[in-house]
A and B are shown apart, each in its own frame.
Chain A
Amino acid sequence: MNNFFERRYVIAGIFIALILVLLGRLFYIQVVDDRYFLYAQNNVMRRNIQYPARGPILDRYGKIMVENEPVYDITVVPKQVKAFDTVEFCKLLGIDREGFDKRMAKARVYSPYRTSIFEKQVSAQQYASFQERLSEFPGFDTQKRSLRSYPDSAASQFLGYIGEVTDAIIKRSGGYYSPGDYVGISGVEKSYESILRGQRGVRNLIYDSHNTPKGSYANGAYDTAAVAGERLISSLDMKIQKLGEKLMQNKVGGIVAIEPSTGEILCYVSSPTYNPNLLVGRERGNNAAKLYKDPYKPFFTRPVQAYYPPGSSFKPLSALIAMQEGVITPQTIYHCSGYYQSGNRRIKCFHGEVHGDVNLASAVAHSCNGYFDMVFEKLINRQGARNTDTAFNYWRNNVAKFGLGSKLGLDMPNENRGNLPKAAYYDKVYGKGGWRSSTVISLGIGQGELLATPLQLANIEATIANHGYYYKPHLIKAIGDKQVIRKEYTLRNYVGVDSQYFEPVINGMQNVVEYGTASSSKIPGIIMCGKTGTAEVKNKNDNSVFVAFAPRDNPKIAIAVVVENSGQGATWAAPIASFIVEQYLRGSISKRPSGIFPEYYINKNLLPEIVVKPADKAKIKADSLKKVTADSLRKRKADSVKQIGLKSAQNKPAKNAGNVLTAMLPKRKENE
């Protein structure tokens, strides 16, 4: 013992104090602060998203339209790569040594420890030979992915395509998508995205500090399995779809065919079209760029986006409304002297024909403009000239019930509403009270400001076929294995015309094909009721329009065909429609008394010329072909869409003296 005995307490005190300080800190980080637990979780746990297979799409008979084709990526973890036969490796993948080094360097830059893609989407063949020898190449692996594949290369505008999500989509999805995900960009891929994409699964994996996977977290207790996307059964009939696309090749326009008893769309052609397989795989970006540059805009979905004046195809609808309103009867006689005098305007019948005394049926059959101008004036003037606008709006509402001027609610993106002007529009143009029935008389024959999409035209035919109602047109017949049909597609939409008024109009339409304007398109043994339309387009050839349904009793198909700037409805649209109708109803195309046959139409090139001013080049968007062609200064003809796509992309446009860039288009043979 010595004098400093008490100092033991000081030393013990220091020991206790410091150890308590440590314990206090430990208490804080272990008990109070729970951030560290999360940090530790984040260190080891990775949420591994399991991507479900996207749902396939079938046609109405179960034929596959879109399926998933497996492709294989070669992946590499640079740190795990050991010496191997590089020459052999390069030979297997068809790359050279330089390409190999470049890819390796890229992977190493991304991360030495993580898996990165060495080569994207190798062919099944390359994959097979590579997979066999995989063990010789430590550090390399393969990874299966699936791409969309289209066995028929058809119905592109219907199917649409998928692409990587954009930032905007990610934001809108509220975090559902993350960069690199695929999402439907257009067509059915877009509108049925939520059904096709299926449900993503999550695997919680444990990774060590070198990012090497170490198995699943908590034995997979928190994992969820991916659920494959449901399959969609389309209403399309792939046979007539393909026929329609063939008939429309080298033409601009659209076809819509509807099954009247269901509203199911059987045929949905937009021309020019493109091969959907071009937008898949490694060349996707280049192909898409080419297609965007194509002056005929293959991405433009004409059945629902293009606006056409219905022309004479509007006449049956006009007659129906007039009868319902009681301004005419089927027996009403009108004397056609070759023109109709409305105010100080004189509207000629087509080609100056004189129809003499016509009733409803013969007026439809011969497409007498005078008769329908008379009908229109009667409707608009029935409350006196002072009440033109009220009567006009009343007429307008009656027309609107048929689906004109508004979206029909097709299960597709980007549907347009067409144009059905209101009285207010003419008030604005001519001043209130400054217009009369004669001012807007061209509406009576489907011209003027009236614009409709092919879908709307076809839907009117379906309505006539049904004697007064339509089902909402749709492209997806049923969803999933249970074949769920949306309830809205089972409801009838009545258009406000009693069924009794349809027979006289249908008689007229039958006559159109039997002996009227479209008699050359008559199908032996099938009674088709139709109406031609030859709609005038400013400064251009007429649009050829034909609408029809068949057979007359218990109709199975209603159709609208538009061939832009090609001429008369009877010349192009009607034969094309008749082939599709016959193919659908009979399964084959018979010899026609008129001598027409499909190959002639298939081979016919009716592409309108395209001249693009430099200033307009930038403006070309998926809008309307009209805008481009309206500026045309010169007429050129083209051979094929594909050639144009390629040529316009490859050839530098020649500069001429007027500083006008002209797309170099090959000349079409002038044999017509």
Chain B
Amino acid sequence: MNNQRSFFLNVDWVTVLIYLSLCVIGWFNIHAAVFDENHPSILDMDTEYGKQFIFIVSALVIGTVILLLESRFLSALAPIFYIVTVLLLILVLVAGHNVGGNQAWIDMGGGFRLQPSEFAKFATCLLLARYLSATNVKVTDPKSFLIAGGIILLPMMLIKLQPDDGSTLVFCSLIFVLYREGLSAYFLIVIGLLATLFISSLLVNVWFIIIALVAVAGLLLFMFGRNRKFATGLTIALVLSVGFIFCVKPLYYHVLKPHQRVRIDEVLGLTKDLRGVGYNQNQSKIAIGSGRVWGKGYLQGTQTKYSFVPAQSTDFIFCTIGEEWGFAGSVTVLGLYLFLLLRIILIAERQRAPFSRIYGYGVASIIFCHVVINIAMAIGYMPVIGIPLPFISYGGSSLWSFTVLLFILLKLDSNRMGINHA
């Protein structure tokens, strides 16, 4: 009995509160986004908002069940979860249901569909946590690094085959987990540098970039040149960068698919096609921008009401928030996310068990990645990538998988005072 009481006391209620807030915000904004005058009630089960209510309730049930599970069980079953997910990902490629060009759903009957890629996220996190928390594993060790990378890459590749660019990209965020566990900072720097070089070589004449790079490298050499090792490293980096710059255009034009390329062109402002490729993002920007400081009010957004933005209950749900609740709404929602992320880091860091900590970082990375990509896309900072806004976007699979992801962490956290796992 004592155990049971302490169990509920140990649950991090702050996180649960943020979680509930986001779910409710999502529910109301879905109501606004797909409002149907013939079915005005937010609890009308014929509508997406009615269904979302069911999803939220069932998510809470799932969350409670997870909290009641034996936490040792999670670590032990991690490989099984992982294998099942990978099998489902293969199954979906063979017998999946195709929606909008993505073969990502498995029909469960009764109108429900399962999206294995959603569950791949927490399964991968779990296995990654379990592997990295093993006593003889160090990320800095190449063999361990490769295995850890493999755990991430396998589901990622399978998802890429669907092809679901958004979810694929989310797995990349697990680099934060590896970094936290000791991966060299250079990895992050190199990724940042490559991204910068990639975008700038599409926008600016390559020779300008090369001159700029040489100038920066020269300055660094002049300041820290006495350090031989640094000088050599810098020179190699410079040569590789210049090489990369020349690879960008061929890569861009021959490796990327046309539909991806036009979206990137649109974001970078290389093309302007507000009726075609750029339509969604332009209308999305108009919706958000027209909300001004305080928004147009609940159910009053004209962009939202008159369906100028497609997929507004799912990927573009932030338009509704921006339009009807204005900048105030944007700050509230992004504030809640930031608070949640920092809270998760805090939770992760207070774990005694590395398994829990690593898993916590996985959760934070995945949520962070979703939020940034989704909102950056809505405001035209990123190409259009179909990716849900955690806890807010309409959809059962997405909500359940984020719930599972988060509540496993809460379960692990509630046990942190208990037996030292692993």
Contact = CB atoms under 8 A, between A and B. Distances in A.
A21 B176 CA distance: 19
Contacts, number: 123
Nearest to B367: A15
Given A15-B341, A15-B342, A43-B308, A7 B179 contact: yes
B330 A30 contact: yes
Contacts of A39: 286, 289-290
Contacts of A22: 334, 372, 375-376, 379, 381
B13 to A, nearest CB: 22
Contacts of B293: 30-31
Interface stretch (B56-64, B142-150, B299-307): B299-307
B379 A29 contact: yes
Contact of A214 (B306, B334, B361, B376): B306
Q: Which of A7, A8, A22, A214 has the most CB of B within 10 A?
A: A22
Given A7-B179, A37-B290, A40-B287, A26 B327 contact: yes
Interface in B355-389: 361, 364, 368, 371-372, 375-376, 379, 381
B416 interface: no
Given A11-B345, A22-B334, A40 B303 contact: yes
B116 interface: no
Contacts of B326: 30
B338 interface: yes
Interface stretch (A155-163, A204-212, A562-570, A648-656): A204-212
B291 interface: yes
Interface in A196-239: 206-210, 214
A321 B330 CA distance: 90
A19 B338 contact: yes
B302 A30 contact: no
Interface string B107-145: 000000000000000000000000000000000000000
B381 A2 contact: no
A22 B375 CA distance: 7
B165 interface: no
Nearest to A210: B307
A609 to B, nearest CB: 64
A14 B305 CA distance: 36
B399 interface: no
Nearest to B176: A11
A542 to B, nearest CB: 72
A113 to B, nearest CB: 13
Given A8-B349, A22-B375, A31 B292 contact: yes
Most buried by B among A5, A26, A27, A39: A26
A14 B341 CA distance: 11
A79 interface: no
A214 B180 CA distance: 54
A34 interface: yes
A509 B67 CA distance: 121
A4 interface: yes
A207 B306 CA distance: 7
Contacts of B371: 19
B155 interface: no
Interface string A25-66: 111011101111101110110000000000000000000000
A429 interface: no
Contacts of B289: 29-30, 33, 35-37, 39-40
A18 interface: yes
B288 A36 contact: yes
A12 interface: yes
B342 A4 contact: no
A15 B322 contact: no
Contact of A3 (B182, B287, B305, B308): B182
B181 interface: yes
Contacts of B342: 12, 15-16
A23 B290 CA distance: 16
B307 A19 contact: no
Given A2-B354, A4-B180, A8-B349, A27 B327 contact: yes
Contact of A40 (B181, B290, B364, B381): B290
B330 A36 contact: no
Contact of B286 (A16, A21, A27, A40): A40
Interface string B304-345: 011110000000000000110011001100100110011001
A206 B302 contact: yes
B97 interface: no
Interface of A: 2-5, 7-8, 10-12, 14-16, 18-19, 21-23, 25-27, 29-31, 33-37, 39-41, 43-44, 206-210, 214
28 contacts: A7-B180, A8-B345, A10-B179, A11-B345, A12-B342, A14-B176, A15-B345, A18-B368, A19-B338, A22-B379, A23-B330, A26-B331, A29-B288, A29-B289, A30-B291, A30-B292, A30-B327, A31-B292, A31-B293, A37-B289, A37-B290, A37-B292, A39-B290, A43-B283, A43-B303, A44-B302, A44-B306, A206-B306
